[in-house]
Structure 1
Amino acid sequence: MIEYLSPSKQHTELYLTQYGMEECLPGHFFGPAVRTHYLLHYILEGEGIFEVGGHKYVLGKGQGFLICPGVITYYQADQGNPWTYCWIGFNGTLAESLLRKAGLSLSSPILCYERDDAIYESILLMSQSQSYRHARETRLTGLLYAMLSMLMEFSSNKLPTPSESRAEIYVEQVQLFIENNYAQKITVGDIAHVIGLNRSYLCALFHQRMNRSIQDYLIRYRVNKACEMMGNLELSIGDISRSVGYTDPLLFSKMFKKVKGSSPRHYRTLSQAQLKV
């Protein structure tokens, strides 16, 4: 079973190019060859070899291998116990980073996942998506994300993340949380709880990396978003205040002046005057 898919127009960050399943004949091989997308094979039964970059891997059930775009690879089923495998082909701007989070890369191409049959079941769900008439591409993209998230969470080939990298990840999580929730009444404690770190530790880590506190970053982010809304004259200052997470207009005005040096109303007047020049 194999199905090839048209390039995505909607999901450029991550999209399927193909998926399939095959019970290989003894000695069946492919390559040496180069692919134009990522191709992840997962072995359901049997054995075989995978060769890339001068390395040869002997693999069996519960293991798999990643083929990266533009890289010469070769793989062959065992003569006595040929493998049966399933695979997914995919690409997109997020593909490499998501694979790295699952411990997979050109320098670390071997997958180890023996937890359950979830990968096989994901392929079956992909084939069942043919019944979707209008939203199949989105359905397939969702299944691909789900499979990769499962590998990120449970695959045993993940490498320990260096402390420096962990710090960057935590800072990015804070920034992303603020980006998605600045319009809500959130606190630094809320952020720390969602990320799963001690509040004091997270604050110290963020300040060390960004040279400012989380609270200051949140205030500045909200004020900058408010500035973007000033050009919409249908929004009152109170509307803008509520839209960036301040239910108290006086507090909003105080924070705005702290960051921009003038009141929201004065800032809007100056901005409008500059547009007319």
Structure 2
Amino acid sequence: MIEYLPRSKHHAELHLTQFGREDCTPGHYFGPAVRNHYLLHYILGGEGIFEVGGKRYRLGKGQGFLIIPDVVTHYQADAVNPWSYCWFGFNGTLAEFLLKQAGLTMASPILHYDRDDMIDQYLQLMIESREFPKSRETRLTGLLYLMLSSLAESGPLTLPNPQESQAEIYAEKVKDFIELNYAQKITVEDIAQYIGLNRSYLCSLFKQRTKTSIQHYLIQYRIRKACEMMENAELSIGDISRSVGYNDPLLFSKVFKKVKGVSPKRYRTEGKITSHSTS
């Protein structure tokens, strides 16, 4: 069986284009040819070959292969023990990234997944999604995300880019945490616990990479967001204060003036005064 799906207008990041399942006849083949979307085959039983980039892979149950858009591939069922497989066609701006998380790339197109029958179960759930016509597109997208997350969890460990230093990796994690949680009453200790490093060691790595302290970066980020919020006339200074992690408006005004050189009220009324920034 095969089901083709309409172009998604709402899920540009990731969306299914088709899915299906087939018990192949002996010697059944496709290609050499190219596809215009990602196509992931998972072998449920039997054997066959997959060819791409001048390489040939003999594959069987619990394995699979990835076809990348615009890349010539050829695959063929075994003449004696032909394979049965299911497949998932998809596309989207996040597709390549999610596949890389699962260890699937042009250089490494072979899937190994024999821990359970979840892939077959996801296919069945996709078929059953016909029972939910109003929300089917979203349901199918969610199932595709879940399937790719299962593959990523069971895939090879993704090693950091050797060009990235440990200081750079942890510094980015600190920045990400602050950008997501600056509105909360977070501390440097909270950040260290989240990342899983000793507070002093993390502070040292961050300063090595950014030439500033975590606390200073947090304050600067909060004040920068506060300045952006000043554009919204419906927000009071108190609203802005609480929105950037300061429940005490007086403390917020003190910190703001230290960073910008003027009070929040004056900054707003006099229109983005160019002011000094303290370290």
TM-score, normalised to structure 1, is: 0.90
Q: 2:243: which partner in 1?
A: 243
- Aligned pair count reads 273
Q: 1:234: which partner in 2?
A: 234
Q: 1:160: which partner in 2?
A: 159
Structure 1: segments with no counterpart, 5+ residues: none
In the alignment, is residue 189 of structure 1 matched against residue 189 of structure 2?
yes
Q: Report which stretch shifted further, 186-195 or 237-246.
A: 186-195
Q: 1:60: which partner in 2?
A: 60
Rounded Cα–Cα distance in structure 1 between residues aligned with 2:29 and 2:206: 51
Rounded Cα–Cα distance in structure 2 between residues aligned with 1:226 and 1:128: 48
Residue 69 (structure 1) shift: 1.0
CA contact (8 A) 2:267 2:273 kept: no
Rounded Cα–Cα distance in structure 1 between residues aligned with 2:195 and 2:20: 37
Rounded Cα–Cα distance in structure 2 between residues aligned with 1:197 and 1:40: 38
1:66 alignment partner, SS class? strand
Q: 1:199: which partner in 2?
A: 199
TM-score, normalised to structure 2, is: 0.89
- Tell me the amino acid that sits aligned with residue 112 of structure 1: H
Q: 1:151: which partner in 2?
A: 151
Rounded Cα–Cα distance in structure 2 between residues aligned with 1:255 and 1:164: 37
Rounded Cα–Cα distance in structure 1 between residues aligned with 2:165 and 2:34: 34
Structure 1 residues 66 and 204: alpha-carbon distance in aligned structure 2, compared to 1, 3 A threshold = farther
Residue 132 (structure 1) shift: 1.3
Q: 1:80: which partner in 2?
A: 80
Rounded Cα–Cα distance in structure 2 between residues aligned with 1:234 and 1:270: 17
Q: Deviations over 1:67-102 (max 9, x none)?
A: 111111111111111111111111111111111111
1:271 alignment partner, SS class? coil
Structure 2: segments with no counterpart, 5+ residues: 275-279
Rounded Cα–Cα distance in structure 2 between residues aligned with 1:199 and 1:38: 43
Matching of residues 66-145 of structure 1 within 5 Å: 66-145=66-145
Q: Deviations over 1:167-221 (max 9, x none)?
A: 4554444333333322122223323333444434443333333333333232222
In the alignment, is residue 51 of structure 1 matched against residue 51 of structure 2?
yes
Q: 2:277: which partner in 1?
A: none
Q: Report which stretch shifted further, 15-24 or 193-202.
A: 193-202
CA contact (8 A) 1:231 1:272 kept: no
1:108 alignment partner, SS class? coil
Q: 1:29: which partner in 2?
A: 29
1:223 alignment partner, SS class? helix
- Tell me the amino acid that sits aligned with residue 4 of structure 1: Y
Rounded Cα–Cα distance in structure 1 between residues aligned with 2:102 and 2:233: 47
1:81 alignment partner, SS class? coil
Residue 54 (structure 1) shift: 0.6
Rounded Cα–Cα distance in structure 1 between residues aligned with 2:22 and 2:165: 39
1:86 alignment partner, SS class? strand
CA contact (8 A) 1:226 1:241 kept: yes
CA contact (8 A) 2:2 2:21 kept: yes
- Tell me the amino acid that sits aligned with residue 48 of structure 1: G
Q: 2:259: which partner in 1?
A: 259
Structure 1 residues 114 and 25: alpha-carbon distance in aligned structure 2, compared to 1, 3 A threshold = same
Structure 1 residues 273 and 227: alpha-carbon distance in aligned structure 2, compared to 1, 3 A threshold = closer
CA contact (8 A) 1:104 1:158 kept: no
1:93 alignment partner, SS class? coil
Rounded Cα–Cα distance in structure 1 between residues aligned with 2:5 and 2:171: 37
> RMSD of aligned C-alpha atoms?
2.2
